[in-house]
Amino acid sequence: MHDSTPHSIDENDLHALVDGQLPPHQAQAVRERLGPADAARVAHWAAQRETLRGLHAAMAEKPLPEPLRMAAGRLQALHDRQTRLWHLGGMAASVLLAFGLGWTLHGQWHARLPATPASVSSVQHFAQQAAVAHAVYQPEQRHPVEVGAAQQEHLVQWLSKRLGRPLTLPVLTQQGFELVGGRLLPGESGARAQFMYQNQAGQRITLYLGALNGAGAAGETAFRLHANGPVPAFYWMDQGFGYALSGPLERDALLTLATAVHQQL
């Protein structure tokens, strides 16, 4: 059995009908749905509207008061600004979405690429990070390391566990450098370790090491000099691990130390 009771009309539609704010086709649709009660309300509101307009007809001929005009101008400016921001926000969201999608696809595509010499750039970036880490912690007097040389066994065990590989701590006493200690650092492909050494003149060198993911990271590379950072660094790779020895030394002196480190590792 069908319900023949007419559906009630939203009061907002009734007000919009009286105020002439509905498009013609929508206004006609509302009129066709008016029941006796709604039709009476619409007629009553329309009569009130005409009465008010008649009472204040003279005001329509007067210019808008200055405070009200300024307030209206500010309101319109605020509305326009919000509209622009919404448009810009939508554009920015679209750009970010496109960038994110492109970067995701780039990463998926790059992961499928075979090993190429281009992976050398990641090793160079590793060397740059090593030089920066040296520049950050080398000047520290009170806290240059997290774990001091007095706890050498604990230091090696701790960093070996965090880096996922048994580490060997090079001894550079014959080269005039004693262990100060070490610390754990973050890296792009996992944890990194930094060992710090110091000679009697107060010069400090740091050995920076950690796993390097990516094409070509499983092989072994010869020593390379990174001279574009805050300090020079000799760096190399061995079985997926990167090593970089950094310090404010002459090239030959730093190479001698790097060779001693490499032989012990």
Residue 208 · residue 134 · CB < 8 Å: yes
Q: Where are the domains of the chain?
A: 11-57, 66-95, 120-264
Instruction: Tokens for 163, please give them.
Output: 């880096």
Of 192, 191, 193, nearest to 181 (Cα)?
193
Q: Into which CATH architecture does domain 120-264 fall?
A: 2-Layer Sandwich (3.30)
Quote the pTM value.
0.55
Compute the chain's Rg from CA coordinates: 38
Nearest CA to 235 among 121, 132, 124?
Answer: 124
Residue with tokens 């926000």: 89
| pLDDT tens-digit series, residues 131-181 | 999 999 989 888 899 999 999 999 999 999 999 989 999 999 999 999 999
From CA 89, how far away is CA 107, in angstroms rounded?
A: 26
Distance CA(49)–CA(83), nearest Å, equals: 32
Cβ neighbours around 38 below 10 Å, total: 19
* pLDDT one-digit tens code per residue, 73-129: 666 666 566 555 545 555 444 444 444 444 443 444 333 333 344 455 778 888 889
The answer to whether residue 200 scores a pLDDT higher than 50 is yes
Cα gap 139→206, rounded to integer Å: 12
